[in-house]
């Protein structure tokens, strides 16, 4: 984002503090935002404010702060944008959960592998993603259905392969994934 004036910078700082406080209060009342954080909400607030107030919305925020902010149209727009962004963040996660879709999980960048090799969770995630991309479409379906908790017989009914063959493919996929993560099959 290009900051053209001190008013823009002042408005940006105010919006950031307002959103951070609102996210903290919301987390106390309803629990932490699953799968997103204050920066995600802030980005959505900026988008809503831009659509509501136009290109110079940060300057308008700054000017409103210099006079009476409470009750101004800028204050109303900011409150509405924050409520909308928080609601959208929570409803997106609820809809994904309701539809049985994968849930976004924030990664903790500080977690290190317990073995002391210095492999971070992000490295393991990238390795796992690369491994999953090597699966054929059939393997992907078997992997997905297994992850959803379907039995070999249920997968057989959907795919049309004998359940013994599906079991062999699943075992091969488990070996691939465990090798990628540095696990031994015996530990699973």
* All residues at 6 or more sequence positions from 30 whose CB lies less than 8 Å from its CB, including other chains: 90
Q: Within a 10 A sphere around the Cβ of 99, how many other Cβ atoms?
A: 7
Q: Within a 10 A sphere around the Cβ of 32, how many other Cβ atoms?
A: 12
Question: pLDDT category, 77, cuts 50, 70, 90?
Answer: confident
Per-residue pLDDT of 35-64, as tens digits, reads 677 888 888 888 888 888 888 888 888 787
Report yes or no: 97 and 90 within 8 Å, Cβ to Cβ: no
Q: What is the pTM of this model?
A: 0.48
d(CA 135, CA 133): 5
Spans of all domains in the chain = 6-98, 121-187
Report, as an integer, the average pLDDT of 132-155: 91
Per-residue pLDDT of 141-151, as tens digits, reads 999 999 888 89
> Measuring CA to CA, which residue among 52, 51, 55, 59 is closest to residue 12?
59
User: In the prediction, which pLDDT does 13 show?
Assistant: 82
Report yes or no: 75 and 85 within 8 Å, Cβ to Cβ: no
d(CA 137, CA 33): 34
Residue owning tokens 């017989």: 153
């Amino acid at each position: 984002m290009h900051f053209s004036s001190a008013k823009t910078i002042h408005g940006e700082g105010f919006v950031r503090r307002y959103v951070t406080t609102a996210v903290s209060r919301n987390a106390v009342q309803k629990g932490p935002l699953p799968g997103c954080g204050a920066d995600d909400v802030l980005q959505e607030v900026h988008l809503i404010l831009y659509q509501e107030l136009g290109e110079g919305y940060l300057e308008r925020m700054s000017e409103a702060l210099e006079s009476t902010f409470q009750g101004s149209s800028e204050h109303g727009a900011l409150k509405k944008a924050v409520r909308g962004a928080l609601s959208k963040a929570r409803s997106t996660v609820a809809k994904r959960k309701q539809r049985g879709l994968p849930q976004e999980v924030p990664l903790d960048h500080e977690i290190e592998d317990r073995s002391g090799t210095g492999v971070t969770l992000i490295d393991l995630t990238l390795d796992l993603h690369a491994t999953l991309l090597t699966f054929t479409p059939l393997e992907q379906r078997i992997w997905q259905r297994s992850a959803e908790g379907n039995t070999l017989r249920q997968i057989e009914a959907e795919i049309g392969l004998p359940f013994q063959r599906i079991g062999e493919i699943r075992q091969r996929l488990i070996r691939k994934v465990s090798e990628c993560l540095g696990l031994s099959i015996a530990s699973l």
